[in-house]
Amino acid sequence: MERFEYKVVKTPSKSTKYKGMNKADDAFAQTLMDGMNELGQNGWQFLRVETLEEDRRSLLRNSQLSHEYMVYRRPMRSNGMTLDTPVSPARIRKAAAPNIELLRARIGSVMSEPEKLVAVAH
């Protein structure tokens, strides 16, 4: 089963000004597209826009605010690490390499045990 990590980003409230772009709708769309492409270069896949309500309580009155968020996801590595966490080849080799001291101790104890067994058996 594939595992994912998620990122939630507040939708922009203002568009960036672009040279030669007169329509506000086009500038806002370009602002969204630039943000989505930037996250996409880092492996984030856009899923959806969520509108969430927040309850605000104060001494005088209660109010409710709406927030819109863009939800992204990207797959995690099979070892549970994120794509942001680099795995160096030296780290993999060190983890996969056997412990030499432990092997020498085991070989030494195995080599001395047959002599004891042979002496007992005669």
Assign 63 a pLDDT band (cuts: 50, 70, 90): confident
In the numeric block, the tokens 């927040």 are attached to: 54
The mean-pLDDT minimum among 15-29, 36-50, 58-72 falls in 15-29
> Is pLDDT at 44 greater than 80 in this prediction?
yes
Look at the pTM and tell me if it is higher than 0.75.
no
- Measure the CA–CA gap between 56 and 78, rounded to whole angstroms: 41
Q: Which residue has the higher pLDDT, 108 or 8?
A: 8
- Measure the CA–CA gap between 2 and 43, rounded to whole angstroms: 15
**Mean pLDDT along residues 30-36:** 89
